[in-house]
Amino acid sequence: MTVPLIELRGITRQYGSGEALVRALDGVDLRIDRGEFVAIMGPSGSGKSTAMNIIGCLDRPSAGNYLFNGVEVATLDQDQRALLRRHYLGFVFQGFNLLPRTTALENVELPLIYKGQPKAERAARARQALARVGLTGREDHTPSQLSGGQQQRVAIARALAGEPMVMLADEPTGNLDTRRSVEIMELLQQLNRDAGLTIVMVTHEEDMAAYASRLVVFTDGKVVRDEPTRARGA
């Protein structure tokens, strides 16, 4: 059997103790293979964001096993977890998280600086990533000179520049109008389909989840639905 890229086995995440105990995740099993586009949905407090944080090595489970590409993440120390995030994961957030006084090109270069890549190579890869998201000619624009949709494209380019195995997108259309949201989802779908990029996306919008090829629904810290979908536009 092929080793899954992401595998959660009996993952539990608890916060607090006694009467204040909160069980954010309660025995979650989840397998995500290479090349999948998975949408994770659920009501507020369902555990979907906690699961995303554990997958992104931003949080640790209280119990259970998380394997990334067959490696038990719990065995990694803090520095190794940081290397996993830096070299294998790309993050896209609702709020874009761009540096306001920095150009699109410089924003995309940031993860490459942390990787220690030479300046010329950083610039070339950043330009290539911006071209992949349709922003050729916008390299010298600052965020204030870009629309919300363009800012999110810069954020996606920044995630792509590091050539990740997985892109983790947390409410990527949450700050966009319907037209720009559709554009971003079509871009993510294209990256998944044409480049084979594995994408895991948290969203509360059913219309946006419809672009994924698989839907996972959380309720009360458990996975209550996990099914393939007929992706919109596919």
State the CB neighbour count (10 A cutoff) for residue 176. Answer: 21
Beta strands 63-68 and 22-32 are: unpaired
> Residue 232 pLDDT > 90, yes or no?
no
pLDDT at 16 over 90: no
User: What is the predicted pLDDT for the residue at 17?
Assistant: 83
Residue-level pLDDT at 1: 66
The answer, yes or no, to whether residue 116 has pLDDT greater than 90, is no
- What domains appear along the chain, each with residue ranges and CATH number? 35-61+77-228 (3.40.50.300)
- Per-residue confidence (pLDDT) for residue 114, from 0 to 100: 83
pLDDT tens by residue, 144-156: 999 999 999 999 9
Which contacts of 80-85 are long-range, i.e. CB under 8 A and separated by 24 or more positions? 81/57, 82/57, 84/57, 85/56, 85/57, 85/58
Question: What percentage of the chain has pLDDT greater than the value 90?
Answer: 90
Q: What is the pLDDT at residue 171?
A: 95
Percent of the chain with pLDDT over 70: 99
pLDDT band at 234 (very low <50, low <70, confident <90, very high): low
